[in-house]
Every structure is written in structure tokens, then in C-alpha cells.
Amino acid sequence: MDMKVLLVYFSLGGRTKQVAERIAEGINFPDVTIESFEYTKKSRELIPEQDEIMKGDLSNFKYNESIKDLAPYDLIFYGFPTHGGRPATVFNGYMKDAQNLDGKNFVVFNTCRMFPGKTLEIMQTEIERKGGSIVNKRVFKGFFRIKMSKVENFIEELNQELMKLN
Ligand SMILES: Cc1cc2nc3c(=O)[nH]c(=O)nc-3n(C[C@H](O)[C@H](O)[C@H](O)COP(=O)(O)O)c2cc1C
């Protein structure tokens, strides 16, 4: 049976989007759905709003509500930028309402300029708290740009490893 794969990302400046799109395209699964959160206000509004977002208020984001239910998927990718040493708060806001992570496999990645801090640990903790398992994770770091060769290496590694899940 072919696995159903979901990749969800958030990108303010386009770097995480570029990585996410490449991963979705590069992994050897025929059924990959890619979804994203779009912030509908000016970027500078995001930080003042972060307490509300953390609590689950995603009213200033445009996204497909169906991504809150992970039941249809076998493997889920989450890609978020690092904001202040942690994932962009939309990740936590989303996790508040996300359902049916139990028993699912996850791959998490983040992009940052220099210091990822606890970004992936926080993502992993939230996912595991809801019963999901992390099968792989990766930090993509680059001050000026993310090296796409690093992304290609990750895709290759995933393709070898994830075949075993299929
Ligand atoms: C509000 C804010 C906070 C950030 N905090 C960090 C940080 O703690 N560490 C870091 O290395 N980069 C930090 N960055 C840089 C972003 O993580 C990095 O540029 C990321 O790749 C942006 O992804 P995007 O283009 O998909 O939005 C921050 C950027 C913003 C806008």
C-alpha cells in the first residue's frame, strides 16, 4: 500500500518554502500533499502577536483547516523557521488543535541563520506528547542562503530510510 504523505510548512521570507517544496518533490512517494500557513498581516505584526498565536489563535493565518486532522496520513513532515531559538509560534498554535498524531511517523526540519536553539527539540516534544514518533530531523542553517546540496543529501537519506516504512 502506498503511504499518504503530508508536508506542512510556514515561511515568512521564502527560505523554508524553498526547502519544503524541494523535499516534497524529491521524496520517493507518489502521494505527497504540501500545505502551508500564510500570515495575512505585515511580517512585523507577527512578533507582537506571538502570545495569542502560541495559545492557538490562528485567525491571522490562511491555511487549509483539514491539516489539523492527521488521520488520513501515514507520514507527516513539518518545516518551520527558527524565531528566537524556537519554532515560529504558529507551530505551537497549530499543535493545540492538531489531532490523531498517535502512532504516526514524523520528519521535522527547520531553517535558521545561525542558531537553531531548541527549535527541533520543541517540535519533537510536542509531537511525542501527542503520541507521534520522529523518524528523522534536520536543521538547515545559512546566514545568506540555505545550501540546497544539504537539502539534496537529506532527501537521499530519507529515500533510503523511508523505503523501509513503505
Ligand atoms: C522574528 C525572527 C526571529 C529569528 N530568530 C532567529 C534565531 O533565533 N536564530 C537564527 O539562527 N535565525 C533566526 N531568524 C532567522 C530565520 O530563522 C531564518 O532566516 C529562516 O531561514 C527564515 O525562514 P523563512 O524565510 O522561511 O521565513 C529569525 C528571523 C525572524 C524573522
Domains of the chain, each with CATH number or no CATH: 5-162 (3.40.50.360)
Query: C-alpha distances in angstroms, 19 versus 22, 38, 92, 115?
Result: 5, 16, 21, 18
Contact 62, 94 (CB under 8 A): no
Tell me what percent of the residues of the chain surpass a pLDDT of 90. 95
* The three cell numbers locating residue 96: 493545540
Whole-prediction pTM value? 0.97
How many angstroms is it from 69 CA to the middle of ligand 1?
A: 28
What residues line ligand 1, using a CB cutoff of 6 Å? 11-17, 47, 81-85, 111-115, 117
Q: Which atom of ligand 1 is nearest to the CA of 9?
A: 26
The tens digit of pLDDT for each residue in 140-161 reads: 999 999 999 999 999 999 999 9
Residue 166's pLDDT band, with cuts at 50, 70 and 90, is low
Specify the range with the lowest mean pLDDT, choosing from 48-52, 156-160, 162-166: 162-166
Question: What pLDDT score does 12 carry?
Answer: 96
- Ligand 1: residue of 12, 112, 120 to mutate (most ligand atoms within 8 A of CB) is 112
- Residue 1: the pLDDT is 59
Q: Is the pLDDT of residue 68 over 70?
A: yes
CB 130 within 8 A of CB 102: yes
Per-residue pLDDT at 112 exceeds 70? yes
Using the atom order of ligand 1, give the atom closest to the CA of residue 10: 26
Q: Whose CA is nearest to atom 22 of ligand 1?
A: 81
